[in-house]
Amino acid sequence: MVPTSFYIFLAALLFTIGAVAVLFRRNTLVIYMAVELMLNAANLAFVAFARQFEALDGQLFVFFVMTVAAAEVAVGLALIVTIFRTKHSVDIDAMHELKG
């Protein structure tokens, strides 16, 4: 069997790659996907701990995280589409002022 710490380490690695991608990339959609990657890494940690403590609560939290992520993606992509209509760009540097 694989120790739980290995799974948590993998989750940490994926989370770090996601965080660096948020800071590296300029495309808003890719930044958004990197946020999804970080959510997935947190989910992996949840499931790993659920396995270690043999409690289903961790898996149910993953279920709720997925639902919230779906809602977040729907609203976030609608925001990006709306911003694209006024700025005609998905470059993160185009969104440096609050006035639309």
Partner 1 sequence: MAFMTLFIITGAVAVAAALGLLFARNAVYAALFLVLNMFALAVLYLMLGAPFIAMVQITVYAGAIMVLFLFVIMLLGAEQLKEDGGPIAWQRPLALVLGVALLLEVTYFVFAALGTGVRLLPPPEGFGDPHAVGLTLFQQYLLPFEVTSVLLLVAMVGAIVLVKNGRARAASSSEAGEQ
Q: Which is nearer to partner 1, 9 or 98 (CB)?
A: 9
In angstroms, the CA 100 to CA 44 distance is 38
Question: What type of residue is 51?
Answer: R
Residues 63-82 that bind partner 1 (CB under 8 A): 63-64, 66-75, 77-82
- For the bound state, the minimum distance from the C-beta of residue 99 to partner 1, rounded and expressed in Å, comes to 13
1: tokens are 């069997």
Comparing C-alpha atoms, which of 2, 3, 33 is closest to residue 18?
33
95 is a site residue for partner 1 (CB under 8 A): no
Residues 47-66 that bind partner 1 (CB under 8 A): 47-48, 50-52, 54, 56-57, 59-60, 62-64, 66
Q: Cβ–Cβ contacts within 10 Å for residue 1, how many?
A: 4
Instruction: Quickly list H helices, the chain.
Output: 4-24, 28-53, 57-87
Where do contacts with partner 1 occur on this chain (CB under 8 A)? 1-10, 12-21, 23-27, 29-30, 32-34, 36-37, 40, 43-44, 47-48, 50-52, 54, 56-57, 59-60, 62-64, 66-75, 77-82, 84-86, 90-91, 93
